[in-house]
Amino acid sequence: MRYKSINRKQDENGTQIIATSIMPTVKKRNSDLFVVMVEKTRLDHLAYKFYNNPHYWWIIANANGIAGTMYAKLGSQIRIPQDIGSIIEEYNRINGI
């Protein structure tokens, strides 16, 4: 059920394929929080802690240029955007949701 909520579309043969998502630019704002990673922490755990929703891990990853891993690097300073409503709205707009 991992991909249950992923957008799907059909190719020219009628085969269902997973649609590619375009990520919005997450601009720096004065309201952003910064945390330093002192233990191995997954991005979905940070999203749950700060947004009460682990599915928003991609906001933190995108804001910090993290790709290919769900873990924040030990000792790194991680930016936690607080205005996630506008980020989600922009994501939905550019992905036609």
60, 43 contact by CB (below 8 A)? yes
pLDDT, tens only, 39-74 = 999 999 999 999 999 999 999 999 999 999 999 989
pLDDT, tens only, 14-31 = 777 777 888 999 999 999
Task: Count the helix, strand and coil residues of the chain and give each as a percent rounded to the nearest 5.
Answer: 30, 20, 50
**pLDDT at res. 15:** 79
Spell out the domain ranges in the chain: 23-94
Q: Please give the class, per CATH, of domain 23-94.
A: alpha beta
72, 78 contact by CB (below 8 A)? yes
How do 16-18 and 8-10 pair as beta strands?
antiparallel
| Nearest CA-CA partner of 70 in 48, 52, 87, 88 | 48
